Amino acid sequence: MSGIFDETTHEKLSEEGRARRHAMLMGGAAIAATAAGGLMPGGARAEAIGKTEKPIQFLFAIYPNGTLLDFAGPNEILSRIPNTKVRFASPDGGPVTLEKGIVFGPTEKLSDINEVDVICVPGALDLSAMMKPEMLGHVRRLSETARYVTSVCTGSIILAASGVLKGKRSACHWAFLNVLKEYGAIPDPARIVKDGRFMSGGGVTAGIDFGMAIAAELRGAQAAQEVQLLVQYDPQPPFHAGNPLIAPPKIRDAVYKILPGSKDGLMRPII
Amino acid sequence: MSGIFDETTHEKLSEEGRARRHAMLMGGAAIAATAAGGLMPGGARAEAIGKTEKPIQFLFAIYPNGTLLDFAGPNEILSRIPNTKVRFASPDGGPVTLEKGIVFGPTEKLSDINEVDVICVPGALDLSAMMKPEMLGHVRRLSETARYVTSVCTGSIILAASGVLKGKRSACHWAFLNVLKEYGAIPDPARIVKDGRFMSGGGVTAGIDFGMAIAAELRGAQAAQEVQLLVQYDPQPPFHAGNPLIAPPKIRDAVYKILPGSKDGLMRPII
């Protein structure tokens, strides 16, 4: 395996630097330890946040037909902030078949979770697996004791349906924002919305921005920005069509046709 | 179940509009059909791109210890563009255990894939599973016949190690960019890099921008922007620390300590 990396480099590298890089990219013990600690050297980070503090328990409540990026985005941030344990739970536990046949696991069973510090409900086009009284009951139960109750995309519709968002401002995917009203929540078209202990992100990709915001809330701006640099979150979309207010009319009109109901104005953003 | 949605809405909604929204969010047949077509009504999209055209075969070559968001980002774009089939393959096939114990599947076996239109190699901190001569051989074999050879993050190091990037410009995670030189590739610090049929994205989150760019390349700017609006890709990071050139010095210096080797300048971006 040592031949894979050509050490006849064009630069003058220290022996130590070369050895460390090699060990990292080839999955050596050093990086295994680092990765286990969320990319943070355990000692330094533990010191910064208080050695005796218990890890924050962050739960993604996922479900069949859910949208992967809704939670894969914030997970990439939260799984790297110090002293934070990201857990996944689903209605039946085990591997979960998401939208487009993707299978994700492992997950715990939602009914087995006693209490968490943060509950996050990601979204989907098909919310049916969570819109059952039993599942809404678990969402409500965990929300009552959590420090933060959060969502990404249409996950806020699940939170709202569980009854915990009455009178609270919340984000949602732009096309479904008005649905929140039906459960007494206050739709907010912002990409990241905070109303007391309730935090939410807009549609799909907003989960990354939400992840940054909740990471800063939980562990401070320094830790959140360190992770931002680690995951090189310096977005540069090649087009500007990410919300209906800025999208070219021909893009917006095409999507209004694609998403059923938007032609009737059911799902237009509130501005 | 019908009681879940409170139909005593605050707005005057048409009966049809209400029924369609309800069916969608509750996983009705209409949305199931729409979702299967990548959120695009099949007929309209098929007409736009030519009914007889074969689907584009887009392959993510994933592997143990890989980083989920590297491919979950572009997948969310590519799985929604018209007439495109996203496939996943891995060294052993079946479910793959990624970084931090996440299990993702299903995947085909890399050696079973004959030919694809696009190969995309996502990245990781630990590349060891792909840095074996047999796996590099499959990457090289599939790259020779693909229309586009692509990567996200340190996936470009795998492509480079396979020999296909000699003399080609490529992106990479900023901290590992210089490693490309050792395989004769030309490191490019841009977030999205195109050099002929080679396209690449920078670190982790750059996969979404890369996904937008390759989607436009494959199916045109209209289709790419429709998906951008569907996934509400209008990023608004709450901090500006996503690359070492703009990150506050105390963030950058902390990350230089976190990533082994960067203190020696091994992994500084080339500018």
DSSP-derived letter for residue A41 is -
| Length of chain A in terms of residues written | 271
Question: From the list B75, B106, B239, which residue is nearest A212 (CB)?
Answer: B239
Mean pLDDT of chain B: 85
Contact A179 B21 (CB under 8 A): yes
CA dihedral of B121, B123, B127, B132, whole degrees rounded to 10? 0
State both tokens at A152: 């990404």
Residue A83 has pLDDT above 70, yes or no: yes
Mean pLDDT of B201-230: 97
Residue that has been written with the tokens 């509750």 in this structure = B26
DSSP-assigned beta bridge partners for residue A201: A152, A192
E strands within chain B?
A: 56-61, 84-90, 96-97, 103-105, 108-109, 118-121, 148-152, 169-170, 186-187, 192-195, 198-201
Question: Crossing angle, helix A42-49 and helix A206-230, to 10 degrees?
Answer: 120
Contact A21 B68 (CB under 8 A): no
Identify the closest residue of chain B to A175 by CA–CA distance: B230
Among candidate residues A235, A234, A229, A200, the one with its CA nearest the CA of residue A217? A200
Question: From the list A65, A73, A255, which residue is nearest B226 (CB)?
Answer: A255
Q: How many Å lie between the alpha carbon of A202 and the closest alpha carbon of chain B?
A: 8
Q: B56-231 — its CATH code?
A: 3.40.50.880
Mean pLDDT of A160-176: 96
Q: pLDDT tens digit string along B131-181?
A: 999 999 999 999 999 999 999 999 999 999 999 999 999 999 999 998 999
* B158 has a chain A CB within 8 A of its CB: no
The confidence score (pLDDT) of residue B25 equals: 74
Residue B53 phi, psi dihedral angles, 5° rounding:
-65, 140
Identify the closest residue of chain B to A172 by CA–CA distance: B232
Distance CA A179, CA A109 (A): 28
A105 interaction partners in chain B (CB closer than 8 Å): 95, 102-103
DSSP-assigned beta bridge partners for residue B115: none
Contact A179 B255 (CB under 8 A): no
The confidence score (pLDDT) of residue A271 equals: 43
Is the CB of residue A45 less than 8 Å from the CB of residue A195? no
Residue B271 has pLDDT above 50, yes or no: no
The confidence score (pLDDT) of residue B268 equals: 56
248-267 in chain B: CB under 8 A from chain A:
248, 250-252, 254-255, 257-261, 263-264, 266-267
Contact B72 A72 (CB under 8 A): yes
Identify the closest residue of chain B to A221 by CA–CA distance: B239
Residue A134 has pLDDT above 70, yes or no: yes
User: Exposed, middle or buried: residue B51 (CB in 10 Å: 0-12, 13-18, 19+)?
Assistant: exposed
The confidence score (pLDDT) of residue B116 equals: 98
* pLDDT band of B16, cuts 50, 70, 90: low
**Following DSSP, what letter does each residue of A174-214 receive, concatenated?**
GGGGGGGGGGT-EE--SSEEEETTEEEE-STTHHHHHHHHH
Contact A225 B231 (CB under 8 A): no
B213 interaction partners in chain A (CB closer than 8 Å): 238
Among candidate residues A76, A269, A67, the one with its CA nearest the CA of residue A188? A269
The confidence score (pLDDT) of residue B259 equals: 85
Q: pLDDT tens digit string along A5-33?
A: 333 333 444 555 556 566 667 664 334 33
Question: Crossing angle, helix A206-230 and helix B249-258, to 10 degrees?
Answer: 70
Among candidate residues A269, A243, A222, A52, the one with its CA nearest the CA of residue B229? A243
**Following DSSP, what letter does each residue of B72-87 receive, concatenated?**
HHHHHHHTTSTTEEEE
Is the CB of residue B66 less than 8 Å from the CB of residue B124? yes
Lowest mean pLDDT among A58-67, A141-150, B48-57, B188-197: B48-57
Is the CB of residue A67 less than 8 Å from the CB of residue A99? yes
Kindly state the percentage of chain B with pLDDT values over 70: 77
Is the CB of residue A261 less than 8 Å from the CB of residue A268? no
Is the CB of residue B26 less than 8 Å from the CB of residue A262? no
Contact A191 B30 (CB under 8 A): no
Instruction: Count other C-beta atoms under 10 Å from residue A259's C-beta.
Output: 23
Residue A44 has pLDDT above 50, yes or no: no
Q: Pairing between strand A103-105 and A108-109?
A: unpaired
Q: pLDDT tens digit string along B51-101?
A: 558 999 999 999 999 999 999 999 999 999 999 999 999 999 999 999 999
Q: Pairing between strand A118-121 and A56-61?
A: parallel
Residue ranges of domains in chain A: 56-231
Contact B241 A228 (CB under 8 A): yes
Mean pLDDT of A165-190: 94
B157 interaction partners in chain A (CB closer than 8 Å): 25
196-215 in chain A: CB under 8 A from chain B:
202-206, 208-209, 212-213
* B2 has a chain A CB within 8 A of its CB: no
The confidence score (pLDDT) of residue B24 equals: 66
Distance CA A228, CA A235 (A): 11
B243 interaction partners in chain A (CB closer than 8 Å): 229, 232, 234
Identify the closest residue of chain B to A157 by CA–CA distance: B25
Lowest mean pLDDT among A145-154, A260-269, B165-174, B209-218: A260-269
Known catalytic residues of A? 153
Contact B128 A26 (CB under 8 A): yes
Q: How many Å lie between the alpha carbon of A114 and the closest alpha carbon of chain B?
A: 22
Contact A222 B154 (CB under 8 A): no
Helices (H), chain A: 15-25, 29-36, 42-49, 68-78, 133-145, 155-161, 206-230, 249-258
* pLDDT band of A261, cuts 50, 70, 90: low
The confidence score (pLDDT) of residue A14 equals: 56
Residue B222 has pLDDT above 60, yes or no: yes
Mean pLDDT of A222-245: 96
* pLDDT band of A50, cuts 50, 70, 90: very low
A209 interaction partners in chain B (CB closer than 8 Å): 235-238
Kindly state the percentage of chain A with pLDDT values over 90: 73
* B171 has a chain A CB within 8 A of its CB: no
Contact B72 A68 (CB under 8 A): yes
Distance CA A200, CA A121 (A): 9
The confidence score (pLDDT) of residue A259 equals: 85
18-77 in chain A: CB under 8 A from chain B:
18, 20-21, 23-27, 30-32, 34-35, 39-41, 44, 65, 67-69, 72-73, 75-76
Residue A202 has pLDDT above 90, yes or no: yes
